[in-house]
Amino acid sequence: MDVHTECTNMFREYYEALTSLKARSIDPLISIPHSDAQVKPEKLNISVTCEGNVKSSELAKLKYDGKSCVRAFIQRVSEFSVARNITNAKLLSFATEIFVDDALHWFRSVKHQVSSWEELVVLLQQDFDKADYDYLLLSEIRSRTQEAKENITIYLSIISGMFSRLSRSLVEEDKLEIILHNIRPCYASTLASASQITSIDQLRMICRNYENVQSRMAQFREPSAATSDTLAPEFAYKQRTDLASKQNYNNNHKLEFNKTNSNNSKQNFNNNVNEKYLHALNTDSAPGGKLPYCPRCRNNSHSLRDCQNKEIMCFKCGQKGVKKPDCPNCNKVQIPKN
Same domain, 141 and 168: yes
Alpha helix stretches (DSSP H) within 219-306: 243-268, 275-282
Position 5 in a domain:
no
pLDDT at 135: 92
Same domain, 208 and 143: yes
Position 39 in a domain:
no
Position 144 in a domain:
yes
pLDDT at 179 over 90: yes
Segment 41-80, tens digit of pLDDT: 566 565 555 555 555 566 667 888 888 888 999 989 888 8
Which of 215, 241, 264 is the last residue before a domain boundary? 215
Which of 108, 128, 148 is the last residue before a domain boundary? 128
Segment 250-306, tens digit of pLDDT: 666 566 656 556 555 555 544 444 444 444 444 444 455 567 778 778 777 777 777
Please tell me which residue, 288 or 224, carries the higher pLDDT value: 224
Position 67 in a domain:
yes
Q: How many C-beta atoms lie closer than 10 Å to residue 179's C-beta? A: 23
In the three-class reduction of DSSP (H, G, I as helix; E, B as strand; rest coil), residue 332 is classed as coil
Segment 195-210, tens digit of pLDDT: 888 899 999 999 999 9
Please tell me which residue, 267 or 154, carries the higher pLDDT value: 154
Segment 181-196, tens digit of pLDDT: 999 999 888 888 888 8
Q: Which of 224-238, 266-280, 310-324 has the lowest mean pLDDT?
A: 266-280
Which of 81, 106, 128 is the last residue before a domain boundary? 128
Position 268 in a domain:
no
Q: Which residues pair with 99 in a beta bridge?
A: 64
Position 155 in a domain:
yes
Same domain, 138 and 210: yes
Same domain, 199 and 142: yes
Of all residues in the chain, what percent carry a pLDDT higher than 70?
71
pLDDT at 332 over 60: yes
Same domain, 295 and 324: yes
Please tell me which residue, 32 or 110, carries the higher pLDDT value: 110
| Number of compact structural domains in the chain | 3
Q: How many C-beta atoms lie closer than 10 Å to residue 180's C-beta? A: 14
User: What CATH number is associated with residue 168?
Assistant: 1.10.1200
Of all residues in the chain, what percent carry a pLDDT higher than 90?
18
Position 208 in a domain:
yes
Q: Which of 1-15, 132-146, 179-193, 210-224 has the lowest mean pLDDT?
A: 1-15
Helix, strand, coil fractions of the chain, as percent rounded to 5: 55, 0, 45
In the three-class reduction of DSSP (H, G, I as helix; E, B as strand; rest coil), residue 97 is classed as helix
Position 250 in a domain:
no
Same domain, 124 and 149: no
Query: Among the ranges 28-32, 111-115, 239-243, which has the highest mean pLDDT value?
Result: 111-115
The range of the structural domain enclosing residue 290 comes to 274-333
Q: How far is CA 338 from CA 332, 334, 335, in A?
A: 18, 12, 9
Spatial distance between the Cα atoms of 277 and 188, rounded to a whole number of angstroms:
29
Instruction: Kindly report the average pLDDT of the chain as a whole number.
Output: 77
